[in-house]
Amino acid sequence: MTIRAPRLVPHCAAALLLLVLASAPVPAQTDPRMYPGNSAVEVPPATEAGSFAGTWIYASRDARVAIWITQVDGRWELRYRYFSTAFPEGFETDWHGHAEYFVREFPGVFDLTLNERSDDRLAGTWNWTLDLPGAARGEHASVELFRSGNGLTLILHFENFAYERREATRTRRAEAEQIWSFRKASNRLVLWDELPF
């Protein structure tokens, strides 16, 4: 004769687990840093190590970006180049961070304007618009650039970032905080075609 164990044991264990979880204290306020990803942006600490001078690169699934930074008469200036791998769009700014370009025959304007410059922090504004038939896109933010870690990481921190997209009569708007992390490719100004993307 075979004796079978009662099936109540798993149910009792589950009930006990629920009782323990229900009695656990609930924090009054959740720290957003506990949940990485889209729920929180943690700004890395700045460092005085290294120098802005040189070539910085950023690569993602959708884009390749380079920032060239140099001093002209003791004043930091930058050039910015963007190349989309997902959409036929790309441009390179002048040393004042300004570019006017076309996607097919449709105009785009990009400005990364520096208003504050020091040896360890650059700050300014980010404005980018593109007008396509039946649609328009705009990005606007305050930005700061600073080095982090051992001085070979450049942080581009977007504050008050607003994205707008207009299609026909409908406009969508999103606001977020963003951080892009660039790595130093060289202490010199490297040609785009020589960059190790």
Please tell me the predicted confidence (pLDDT) of residue 133.
85
Distance CA 154, CA 138 (A): 24
What does the alpha-carbon distance between residue 30 and residue 33 come to, in Å, rounded to a whole number?
9
* pLDDT for position 36: 52
Dmax of the chain from CA atoms?
97
Q: What is the pLDDT of residue 34?
A: 46
Q: How high is the pLDDT of residue 39?
A: 58
54-59 and 63-72 beta bridge pairing:
antiparallel
Per-residue confidence in pLDDT tens, the chain, 197 aa: 555 444 444 444 444 333 333 333 333 444 444 445 555 678 999 999 999 999 999 999 999 999 999 999 999 999 999 999 998 999 999 999 999 999 989 999 999 999 999 999 999 999 999 998 888 999 999 999 999 999 999 999 999 999 999 887 888 888 888 999 999 999 999 999 999 98
Q: Which residues pair with 131 in a beta bridge?
A: 136
Domains of the chain: 54-188 (2.40.128)
The confidence score (pLDDT) of residue 22 equals: 39
Strand order in the sheet with 106-117: 90-92, 75-84, 63-72, 54-59, 170-186, 153-167, 135-148, 122-132, 106-117, 98-103
What pLDDT is attached to residue 38? 55
Inter-residue contact 139 to 153 (CB < 8 Å): no
| pLDDT attached to residue 27 | 38
User: Residue 90: what pLDDT?
Assistant: 96
Length of the chain: 197
